[in-house]
Amino acid sequence: MERSEGIEKENGSVEEKQSFKDGSICGYDSLQRLLSANLKPQIFQEVSRLLLGLNCGRPLETIVPPKSAIALSSKHDFDIQAFSFSADKELLREPRVVRVGLIQNSIALPTTAPFLDQKKAIFKKLRPIIEAAGASGVNILCLQEAWMMPFAFCTREKRWCEFAEPDNGESTQFLQEFACKYNMVIINPILERDVNHGETLWNTAIIIGNHGNIIGKHRKNHIPRVGDFNESTYYMEGNTGHPVFETTYGKIAVNICYGRHHPLNWLAFGLNGAEIVFNPSATVGELSEPMWPIEARNAAIANSYFVGSINRVGTEIFPNPFTSGDGKPQHPDFGHFYGSSHFSAPDASCTPSLSRYKDGLLISDMDLNLCRQLKDKWGFRMTARYELYADILARYLKPDFEPQVIPDPLLHKKSS
């Protein structure tokens, strides 16, 4: 028995190392596929119910993408999955079904390639995935954070600023073509060069309307200073507030990356009336993976809207090693960007995740009537105590703030 346990531990260690190396989970694309392959169907169904929830009391419905989209995914080797969130039938309102897409991807060329070649290659790589979204009838499509470039914000090297572009720059023009072709709203997260304000840099999401027009933009509210994420070398906190963009398909907002760790950031988009909030991100397994399935799903529940969470994939190796200021040796990469993009709904249901290591397109139909239905059911907006929250926040912001702590008068009394 001891010998057997020793072998299992040894094999387990090998599997863990292999998983870390190729980005898989013990050879599987995602947790859901691992469970599906290793559990009996009845047990898997119950585990899925607990992990993914139920949509209107039923397991989430799977959609078969059109053959043309499947052919593109096969030819260009990207994951494609599609699901449908329902809402209860209403007597006074028709269903408000919108089809939404998320794209996750790795970089197209090594970080050592000439910058111009990297930009051309990422356009070429994304084109068939966007075409698959268009062929699938996607109404709103969101790309990952800073999709046009390596996520170089760990390096603190200024040369990566060359990837910055104005809000009407190269990537916006590239995506406007698809917006017009497919009558699709597209969210374009870029490193923005603000030419009207001294070429200041921002981490920005451009909202492109379904007619190819620019509706507006949102700049990242929260900048991380944790681990390798030294992003304030390049840009600081955004100045656009919490805008919600009213499109022909619904009211949408963008909570960029690190903002997902701040519950009040999610709340503010909800207070402004968002029905779908996108969270384009770039985050690595060692830092945040246990948080990933929780935070956005909790935001969807607490704020009665849908959330689309996107994370890039792959390990990006940079030419010059860097340090994090945490005592660890210098290293040339962030770690593995674990993908796992998914949708969350206000009724606590969510989709399975895309691959942990492969490019992918996730599609979901969502009936936006579900947002109001869950507001009516739980009454979070009615039962919240905003006046109390406003009071504590106002007092907290003052230099002479004192926490409301009531000590036990016998706390420091010595026992006899």
- The catalytic residue positions are 145, 220, 257
DSSP conformation class of 89: -
Tokens read off for 362: 């996730």
Give dist(CA 398, CA 236) in Å, integer.
Answer: 23
Within 207-335, residue ranges assigned H as helices are 263-271, 285-288, 292-303
Cβ atoms of 281 and 245 within 8 Å: the answer is: no
φ/ψ (deg, to 5) at 276 = -135, 130
Return the closest-CA partner of residue 151 out of 222, 273, 234.
234
12-20 CB contacts, 8 Å cutoff, 24+ apart: 20/336
Residue type, 232: S
Tokens read off for 246: 């009213």
DSSP conformation class of 161: G
Helices and strands in the chain: count of H runs, count of E runs:
12, 17
Tokens read off for 377: 């059911």
Tokens read off for 10: 């040894």
φ/ψ (deg, to 5) at 372 = -65, -40
Give dist(CA 243, CA 43) in Å, integer.
Answer: 43
* Cα-Cα end-to-end distance for the chain: 54
Cα 339 from chain centroid? 9
Give dist(CA 84, CA 67) in Å, integer.
Answer: 18
